[in-house]
């Protein structure tokens, strides 16, 4: 799950800290994303009493590029994108994933630009308010992952931590651990990953 705070995109699970290079009102991709008016209305109805100013801003739809992720909440843009494969599992799973991602939007809306743990107490409270108490961080779903060869290695000049990547990153990416340890969690170019080409 991705978490966006104050214009920064943090990939917590992978240890990557990424700076965006796009304008805030970036249009959704026409080829991969399709809005769903029924789910969008459901999401807006669910938060109308909890956060009246958030409700009309919410966008919900399907992202055909998703493979192993059930859904993602892009809090900065008030967007929720779901994996179309959810429809083949069950309508209950579609609804549960929608509420899971909606809780991320609600938690950040309530707490403004404060840094929140992706599945911390604020998110857990939002889950309870949306009727899914005890919600887990992830769902065990039968998605099939595409296996692609990782041709690049990203290595932190500070701690030496490394991550394999299929493509060269188009944005500046730094080591999340080092940014947290040495710069209060703020992006620091000293810990920008070095890109190393892995020989074929």
Per-residue pLDDT of the chain (200 residues; tens, 9 = 90+): 333 333 333 333 445 545 444 444 444 445 689 999 999 999 999 999 999 999 999 999 999 988 878 899 998 899 999 999 898 888 999 999 999 999 999 999 998 867 778 888 999 999 999 999 988 877 666 555 555 677 888 899 989 888 888 788 888 888 988 998 999 888 899 999 988 887 65
User: Which residue bears the tokens 């919410």?
Assistant: 58
Is the Cβ–Cβ distance between 70 and 84 less than 8 Å?
A: no
CATH numbers and ranges of domains, the chain: 31-129 (3.30.2010.10), 152-197 (no CATH)
Distance CA 112, CA 155 (A): 33
pLDDT at 1: 36
Distance CA 198, CA 200 (A): 6
Distance CA 3, CA 120 (A): 12
Return all residues near 199 (Cβ < 8 A) that are at least 6 apart: none
Any bridge partners for residue 62, and if so which? 34, 82
Distance CA 191, CA 47 (A): 39
pTM value? 0.58
pLDDT at 171: 85
Alpha-helix residue ranges (DSSP H) falling in 52-90:
86-89
Alpha-helix residue ranges (DSSP H) falling in the chain:
37-47, 86-89, 91-111, 121-129, 176-183
Environment class of residue 111 by beta-carbon count within 10 Å: exposed (0-12), middle (13-18) or buried (19+)? middle
């Amino acid at each position: 799950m991705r978490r966006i705070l104050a214009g920064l995109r943090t990939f917590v699970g992978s240890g990557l800290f990424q700076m965006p290079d796009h304008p805030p009102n970036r249009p959704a991709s026409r080829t991969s994303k399709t809005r769903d008016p029924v789910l969008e209305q459901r999401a807006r109805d669910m938060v109308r009493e909890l956060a009246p100013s958030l409700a009309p801003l919410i966008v919900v739809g399907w992202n055909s590029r998703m493979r192993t992720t059930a859904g993602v909440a892009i809090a900065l843009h008030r967007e929720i994108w779901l994996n179309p494969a959810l429809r083949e599992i069950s309508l209950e799973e579609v609804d549960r994933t929608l509420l899971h991602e909606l809780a991320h939007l609600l938690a950040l809306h309530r707490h403004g630009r404060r840094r929140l743990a992706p599945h911390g107490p604020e998110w857990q409270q939002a889950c309870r308010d949306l009727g899914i108490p005890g919600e887990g961080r992830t769902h065990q779903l039968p998605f099939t992952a595409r296996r692609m060869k990782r041709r690049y290695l990203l290595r932190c000049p500070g701690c030496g931590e490394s991550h394999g990547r299929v493509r060269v990153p188009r944005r500046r990416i730094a080591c999340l651990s080092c940014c947290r340890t040495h710069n209060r969690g703020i992006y620091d170019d000293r810990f920008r990953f070095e890109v190393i080409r892995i020989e074929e």
